[in-house]
Chain A
């Protein structure tokens, strides 16, 4: 899903989709730009969801995280990069890096690598100096970094041994490892995010769309998804139906969640446009 395509689709007045999974940053953004239908919460059983996952315009369906990923042939477990600072340390942990080719949340990661604590990341990033600092830190590994555009690319880079460590989504690392790839993740300093199901404004099937969203929050359906790609359910009853070996891969498992931080969707809603342009300029500089 890409945001501009979504916007164009809604502006055309003929959305081809009726239910769309969007990231939390886009949920905030789209509400401001009036891209979604307001949900009729009486048509969706929200009681089975934690209140933090219910929004006037979207219902959260999965929770997931950006993690430190590493190639298990390059680093043994225990001797692998355990912090973003390690990922930025080319001497201690040699090899090519990979980062997501988007400004979010690479800024957060760079600041953490530069020693900023998880709780202060957004305070620092709100200042011009903080942004400079993040880019300066990114400069230190730029020449050794391959940037991924899509999640499948990130998976491929790790599986092929093209990179030794970097950024990967927990579910993608799980999928790569399932398929025999030499990939593992570290949970320290993970960045948590949530996807929401929304109905594009102008949808012709609003009634059915509500039904689908309701269906997608059923415990058994969410458990099926989690068993496939290790993205966490938003319906707590689903946990009981998830395979035991998946649990360590879930971003919402308590021991994983407490090692990480939540992405600040409000921050990105405000700053995405300006910082994204800076990101493009930085990459070319």
Chain B
């Protein structure tokens, strides 16, 4: 038998990772956040601007609305998928895991450009629909909200499916079996027994997708239209077009606060550990 691994005393192993994070992540983020209150001078002026001008509130609303829709569609598509994965033969499960994982292995940028090729006026989808006579002329599938949602849902689906799957696979089949013997119809059985048991997965998956969506940049920038500007794009614009670091910092603070609040709420409701460990 090998010697048992001594617990503790290995904390220094994470030092390089912590160091890298401090230098390349914590410091610049802190610096940008600081500029929200110091650029061009000390004070809350940047935050006042954000809440006074309708344009920034509109961007904030866009961000929440797009993230919410993305989460909803991911859930609607992801739940049945995770259910099938959790309740099928090993072969089917492996195939589904593979299919869901493919997007993970492809670069975000490549996938976004692929959607541009598919969705544009002379793209595959429009050409086929026009070709078989379903459409008279190509419709706008891209450079609007629809394009943003299609791209984001496809890219973020794994973040919904895997937390869900992790919960669903552990649901004890005897519960639903017992409910069925006691006379519950399949619908009632699902709503009263299965769904409540799966809620931690639903909440974790939804929070993950929602939070990642909040900071999304490339996909809405490439697939969206004029009205689909999200907060991350606005931050980039403030810096790149206007050199307004203070306002960019204020928007970043807003994004950070929103994210932390959501994470905290999720932690209170489910606790991240109940999903990933047991």
* Interface set of A (CB-CB < 8 Å, partner B): 2-5, 7-8, 96, 101, 142, 145-147, 149, 160-162, 273, 276-277, 280-281, 283-285
Decide yes or no: A161 and B122 within 8 Å by CB, A4-B242, A281-B53, A284-B55 being known contacts. Answer: yes
* B235 interfacial contact with A, CB 8 Å: no
> Which one of B55, B122, B225 contacts A280 once the chains associate, using CB atoms below 8 Å?
B55
The reply to whether B225 and A146 form a contact with Cβ atoms under 8 Å apart is: yes
Complex Cα distance, B206 from A278, in Å, reads 35
B121–A284 touching, CB < 8 Å: no
Per the CB 8 Å criterion, the residue count for chain B at the interface is: 23
Is B241 among interface residues, defined by CB-CB distance under 8 A? yes
Which residues of the partner chain A approach B225 to less than 8 Å between Cβ atoms?
Answer: 146-147
B216 to chain A minimum Cβ distance, whole angstroms, is 17
- Pick from A101, A145, A281, A284: contact of B62, CB below 8 A: A284
Q: Which B residues are closer than 8 A to A by beta carbons?
A: 53-55, 58-59, 62, 120-122, 140, 143, 221, 225-227, 229, 237, 239-244
Q: How far is the CA of A51 from the CA of B120 in the complex (A)?
A: 47
Please give me the 8 A-B residue pairs with the lowest Cβ-Cβ distance, nearest first: A4-B243, A281-B55, A283-B226, A146-B143, A284-B58, A161-B122, A7-B243, A2-B240
Residues of B within 8 A of A4 (CB): 239-244
A182 to nearest B CB, angstroms? 11
* Cα–Cα, bound, A4→B235 (Å): 13
**Residues of chain B with a CB closer than 8 A to A145's CB:** 226
Given contacts A162-B120, A277-B55, A281-B55, 12 further A-B pairs with CB under 8 A are: A3-B243, A4-B241, A4-B242, A4-B243, A147-B225, A149-B221, A160-B120, A161-B122, A277-B53, A280-B55, A280-B237, A284-B226
Cβ distance A11 to chain B, nearest Cβ, rounded Å: 9
Find out whether the CB atom of A273 lies under 8 angstroms from the CB atom of B242: yes
